[in-house]
Copies of this chain bind each other. A is one copy, B any other.
Amino acid sequence: MTDFTHLDDQGRVRMVDVAGKDVTRRVAIARGRIDMTADTLDRIFGRNVKKGNVLEAARIAGVMAAKRTADLIPMCHPLNLTHVRVDFFPDPGHNRIEIEAEASLAGRTGVEMEALTAVSVAALTIYDMCKSYDKGMIISDIHLKSKTGGKSGTFLADRYGHP
């Protein structure tokens, strides 16, 4: 049976036990962006997209996805978020929209994944609403901008948009 066990030990997935962690206020902010054609950007902000208000749909989808993070990401702990915010920052100079999401709660584990999931699903929703005009849109630079609370303390991305 040793061999079997050995094979099994190479990488069995586990949900880390967070029972021993402190309940602290935890906040995470994630960012990302979606690049598109100038025409698509105009349509979105000119409310000229056949499927409807793109950013409102994306915002709602992002908030709802944040609440379902533990359903999507296998080893994420289920959490009772107390706040989610999704905002959009158009950047007409680069034909893109920056997306920022913030999630927070008082709990035993961080909310980075909730913020990152909100950004990702908001971006996917923008793609879906506009894909009949522009299938070449690209979702990029999804990263954790900052995080506070918890044992690992504060994290700040060195600079925006870098690897």
List chain A positions with a Cβ less than 8 A from chain B.
1, 3-5, 7-8, 10-19, 25, 32, 35, 45, 47, 49-57, 59-61, 63-65, 67-68, 70-85, 87-88, 90, 92, 95, 104-108, 112-113, 116-117, 120-121, 123-125, 127-129, 131-132, 135-144, 147, 152, 155, 157-158, 162-163
Query: Which residues of the other chain, B, contact A71 by a CB distance below 8 angstroms?
Result: 64, 67-68
Q: How far is A107 from B67 in the complex, measured between Cα atoms in Å? A: 17
A69 nearest CB across to chain B (Å)? 8
Q: In the bound complex, do residue A52 and residue B14 qualify as a contact, i.e. CB atoms below 8 Å apart?
A: yes
Q: In the bound complex, do residue B72 and residue A65 qualify as a contact, i.e. CB atoms below 8 Å apart?
A: yes
Query: Which residues of the other chain, B, contact A55 by a CB distance below 8 angstroms?
Result: 8, 12
Q: Return 27 A-B CB contacts under 8 Å, by A number.
A: A5-B90, A7-B47, A11-B47, A11-B53, A11-B56, A12-B55, A12-B87, A13-B51, A13-B52, A13-B53, A13-B63, A13-B129, A14-B51, A15-B84, A17-B83, A18-B83, A19-B82, A19-B83, A35-B163, A57-B75, A60-B74, A65-B72, A67-B71, A78-B81, A80-B80, A138-B163, A140-B140
Q: How far is A68 from B124 in the complex, measured between Cα atoms in Å? A: 13
Measured CB to CB, the nearest residue on chain B to A66 is B15
Contacts A140-B140, A155-B135: A117 and B113 contacting too (C-beta < 8 A)? no
Q: In the bound complex, do residue B7 and residue A45 qualify as a contact, i.e. CB atoms below 8 Å apart?
A: yes
A24 nearest CB across to chain B (Å)? 11
A47 nearest CB across to chain B (Å)? 5
